[in-house]
């Protein structure tokens, strides 16, 4: 299991996103296989970066391979992997992972044993990702990072419009690792 190379992420979010499927997200004892992602970039009205740099989205305009965490709905966090080049304002939202290790820790944080990380808010709660993890470099092999265990991305992921947005609703920038065959 080797850490992801930064060069792998230094490309357009909608190109990187499907290739992040089946990679591993690690945060302390918690490991999960990425199975659902969405792409955002600064040309996209649904993106936090659409209207330029702000205090919140500054990480998204920074270097690829860093973690962009934001707080929303007054109670949830969402985690993104910054892609592209400095100044681009691109990222891939991690929407769901399949838990692989640290299930006990995830269950304790979630307060249940089912549906541990099958949604962006649930994923962050299970993996303990909050604003203190915002800006973390995921490509240096640290406790929080992205890793590759050799499992390739699915050849035919499900591709759909993105979830939970009110603009840019027709852009098919959501990728799901379909289960089975």
Angle 172-176-181 (CA atoms, 0-180°, nearest 5)? 125
At residue 69, φ and ψ (nearest 5 deg) are -110, 135
Helix (H, G, I), strand (E, B) or coil at 43: coil
The structure tokens 């099958």 sit at: 118
State in angstroms the smallest separation of the CB of 146 from DNA: 16
State in angstroms the smallest separation of the CB of 141 from DNA: 24
State in angstroms the smallest separation of the CB of 1 from DNA: 26
Angle 94-145-4 (CA atoms, 0-180°, nearest 5)? 90
Closer of 57 and 136 to DNA (Cβ): 57
State in angstroms the smallest separation of the CB of 164 from DNA: 2
- Interface ranges with DNA (CB under 7 A): 38, 40, 46-49, 51, 54-57, 60, 68, 70-76, 78, 80, 91, 93, 95, 110, 112, 115, 119-123, 162-166
Residue 147 per-residue DSSP state: E
Closer of 73 and 156 to DNA (Cβ): 73
């Amino acid at each position: 299991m080797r850490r992801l190379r930064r060069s792998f992420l230094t490309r357009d979010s909608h190109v990187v996103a499907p290739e992040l499927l089946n990679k591993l997200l690690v945060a302390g004892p918690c490991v999960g296989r990425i199975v659902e992602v969405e792409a955002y970039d600064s040309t996209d009205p649904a993106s936090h970066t659409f209207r330029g740099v702000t205090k919140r989205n500054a990480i998204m305009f920074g270097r690829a391979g860093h973690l962009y965490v934001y707080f929303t709905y007054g109670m949830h966090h969402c985690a993104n992997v910054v892609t592209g080049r400095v100044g681009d304002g691109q990222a891939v939202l991690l929407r769901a992972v399949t838990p692989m290790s640290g299930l006990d820790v995830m269950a304790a944080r979630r307060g249940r044993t089912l549906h541990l990380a099958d949604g962006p808010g649930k994923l962050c709660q299970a993996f303990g990702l909050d604003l203190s993890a915002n800006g973390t470099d995921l490509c240096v092999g640290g406790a929080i990072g992205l890793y590759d265990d050799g499992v390739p991305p699915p050849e035919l992921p499900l591709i759909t419009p993105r979830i939970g947005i009110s603009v840019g609703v027709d852009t098919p920038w959501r990728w799901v690792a379909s289960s089975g065959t």
